[in-house]
């Protein structure tokens, strides 16, 4: 299950989306997230799916890989769906004991589940199409204006990128620990939900030890290479805006404008 997590992973391939400026991809991702919360009608999601489908098509990232990235958070999606389904008041359309399903609850549950799925798929495209180095440079460049108020732009960008990059690494480590403990007789699958949750507690100690060890190794490697943060740091590749970036800006502007207009009219 853990190997299907796409957030933090990079899919190296030559494509128009991969070659876009990382700063633009960060802004587009932010606008995409905002647009999801502006939608108040189900048909508008077709526009979001079309926009996201265009990005996936141009990125050459397998659609199956993007969809499989939803599997690790399937339980969160289901919990969100059922909470909204049963906790929203309104016109009752089905009743079973103390549980009521309302028309408004069904609509809200569908909205939240669909929004969460598109949110994960859209944000995962950022890391799938951007290498960690370019992602760091993009975040740092966007945060540079805040240096005037004392914000450590480079250090913050580096921490955010390392955190994203370590998500799939830690999930892979968790899967290895689970397989090792299963080989010793541990049972993570039988019993109810509470028992399954308790069975995962023994994973925490070796996972924390492994995480601290990896962090220490990374710190030693950075010190061995005389890493000193963003001070007097040079770059092999300078971030520049190209014609393709302007085309991407125009498409994104049309998409966001259409969402806003539909929101206002609707």
Taking residues 12-27, what's their average pLDDT? Answer: 92
- Give the CA-trace dihedral at 124, 4, 42, 252, to 10 degrees: 20
Q: Which residues of 142-167 are buried (b: 16+ CB within 10 A; e: fewer)?
A: bbeeeeeeeeebbeebbeebeebbbb
Owner of token pair 């019993």: 191
Q: What does each C-alpha distance from 87 to 37, 76, 79, 96, 102 come to in angstroms?
A: 20, 16, 12, 14, 9
- Spatial distance between the Cα atoms of 120 and 17, rounded to a whole number of angstroms: 18
- Spatial distance between the Cα atoms of 89 and 97, rounded to a whole number of angstroms: 15
37-41, 70-74, 239-243: lowest mean pLDDT where? 70-74
For the segment 59-95, what is each residue's pLDDT rounded down to a tens digit? 999 998 888 888 878 888 888 888 888 888 877 777 7
Angle subtended by helix axes 153-183 and 132-143, to nearest 10:
140
What is the CB neighbour count within 10 angstroms for residue 212? 10
Predicted TM-score (pTM) of this structure: 0.78
Q: In this predicted structure, what is the pLDDT of residue 178?
A: 80
Beta bridge partners of 100: 95
Q: In this predicted structure, what is the pLDDT of residue 48?
A: 94
Q: In this predicted structure, what is the pLDDT of residue 30?
A: 94
Phi and psi at 92, nearest 5°, equal: -75, 130
DSSP-assigned letters across all residues of 147-178: GGGT--HHHHHHHHHHHHHHHHHHHHHHHHHH
Residue 209 has pLDDT above 90, yes or no: no
For the segment 117-136, what is each residue's pLDDT rounded down to a tens digit? 999 999 989 989 988 888 88
Residue 234 has pLDDT above 70, yes or no: no
* Segment of 89-103, 203-217, 221-235 carrying the highest mean pLDDT: 203-217
Question: For residue 261, what pLDDT band results from cuts at 50, 70 and 90?
Answer: very high
Residue 250 has pLDDT above 90, yes or no: yes
Q: Where are the domains of the chain?
A: 2-129+168-182+189-225+243-265
């Amino acid at each position: 299950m853990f190997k299907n997590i796409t957030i933090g992973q990079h899919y190296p391939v030559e494509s128009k989306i991969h070659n876009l400026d990382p700063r633009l991809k960060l802004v587009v991702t932010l606008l995409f997230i905002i647009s999801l919360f502006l939608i108040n009608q189900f048909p508008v999601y077709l526009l979001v799916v079309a926009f996201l489908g265009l990005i996936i098509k141009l990125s050459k990232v397998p659609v199956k890989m993007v969809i499989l990235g939803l599997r690790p958070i399937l339980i969160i999606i289901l919990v969100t769906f059922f909470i909204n389904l049963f906790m929203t008041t309104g016109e009752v359309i089905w009743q079973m004991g103390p549980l009521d399903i309302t028309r408004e609850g069904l609509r809200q549950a569908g909205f939240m589940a669909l929004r969460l799925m598109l949110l994960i798929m859209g944000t995962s495209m950022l890391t799938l199409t951007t290498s960690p180095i370019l992602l760091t440079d993009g975040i740092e460049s966007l945060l540079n204006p805040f240096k005037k108020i004392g914000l450590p732009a480079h250090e913050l960008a580096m921490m955010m990128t390392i955190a994203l990059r370590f998500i799939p690494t830690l999930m892979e480590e968790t899967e290895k620990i689970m397989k090792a403990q299963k080989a010793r007789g541990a049972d993570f699958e039988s019993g109810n939900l509470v028992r399954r949750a308790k069975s995962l507690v023994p994973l925490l100690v070796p996972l924390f030890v492994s995480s601290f060890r990896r962090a220490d190794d990374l710190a030693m490697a950075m010190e061995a290479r005389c890493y000193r943060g963003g001070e007097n740091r040079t770059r092999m590749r300078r971030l520049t805006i190209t014609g393709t970036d302007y085309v991407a800006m125009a498409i994104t502007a049309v998409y966001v404008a259409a969402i806003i207009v539909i929101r206002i009219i609707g």
